[in-house]
Copies of this chain bind each other. A is one copy, B any other.
Amino acid sequence: MDINNLAQPCAALNEGARTEALARQGMLTKPPGALGMLESVAVALAAMQGSARPEVARVQISIFAADHGVADEGVSAFPQEVTGEMVKNFALGGAAISVLAKTLAARLEVVNLGVVNDPGEWPDVMRAVIAPMTANFAAEPAMTRIQLASAIRAGSESVLRAKQAGIQLFIGGDMGIANTTSASALACALLQESAQLLAGPGTGLDRAGVAHKAWVIERSLELHGLFPRPAGSEIEGEGALEILRCVGGFEIAALMGAYITAAQQGIPSLVDGFISSVAALFAVRINPQVRDWLLFAHMSAEPGHQRVLAALDAQPLLQLGMRLGEGSGAAVAVPLLRMACALHNGMATFEEAAVSEKI
A31 touches B204 (CB 8 A): yes
B324 touches A89 (CB 8 A): no
B355 touches A35 (CB 8 A): no
Per the bound structure, the CA–CA distance linking A319 and B320 in Å amounts to: 10
Q: How many residues of A contact B (CB 8 A)?
A: 62
B86 touches A36 (CB 8 A): no
B85 touches A38 (CB 8 A): no
Question: How many copies are assembled?
Answer: 2
**Does A359 sit within 8 A of B, measured CB to CB?**
yes
- Per-position 1/0 for A302-339, Cβ under 8 A of B: 00000000000000011111111000100110011011
- Per-position 1/0 for A21-44, Cβ under 8 A of B: 000000011111111111000000
- Per-position 1/0 for A335-359, Cβ under 8 A of B: 1101100110011100011111111
Q: Which of the residues B29, B35, B342 comes within 8 Å of A322, measured between beta carbons?
A: B35
B353 touches A103 (CB 8 A): no
A317: chain B residues at CB < 8 Å are 320
User: How distant is A100 from chain B, measured CB to nearest CB, in Å?
Assistant: 6
A353: chain B residues at CB < 8 Å are 85, 88-89, 92, 94-95
- List the 6 closest A-B pairs by CB distance, nearest first: A94-B348, A36-B321, A335-B335, A31-B203, A34-B324, A99-B346
